[in-house]
Amino acid sequence: MRVEVSGGVTRPPMEPIPASQRLRAAYEPYAAASGLQIGEAELQGGGSDANLLVALGVPCIDGLGPHGEYFHQVREWCSLASLRNRTAALAWFLAEQSAF
């Protein structure tokens, strides 16, 4: 039996462009007021659609999902409290932005 694997990296790295840094700075007061940590997160690897958008110059904040463990595994779980806090912060931020 022979198995051939092909392909490669399909997501560019999410580079910290100035527009994303400004977006994060604008969002942080809402995150802090909702009890969330603020500041730039430690690099973690992986990839999301935000990687593709940032490569095109679209400002993005990634990592706004709930706290949890074992992502994409059968035993995956998330904290409902963190989901509530993160949803509140994002909704409050979006409601107060006329056009970012």
The end-to-end CA distance of the chain, in Å, is 55
The mean-pLDDT minimum among 8-12, 13-17, 90-94 falls in 8-12
Q: What are phi and psi of 50, to 5 degrees?
A: -60, -35
Residue with tokens 């990687």: 51
User: What local confidence, expressed as pLDDT, does residue 99 receive?
Assistant: 54
User: What local confidence, expressed as pLDDT, does residue 7 receive?
Assistant: 82
User: What local confidence, expressed as pLDDT, does residue 19 receive?
Assistant: 95
Tens digits of residue pLDDT in 35-82: 998 888 776 666 788 889 999 999 998 888 888 999 888 999 999 999
Residue 81: DSSP 8-state: H
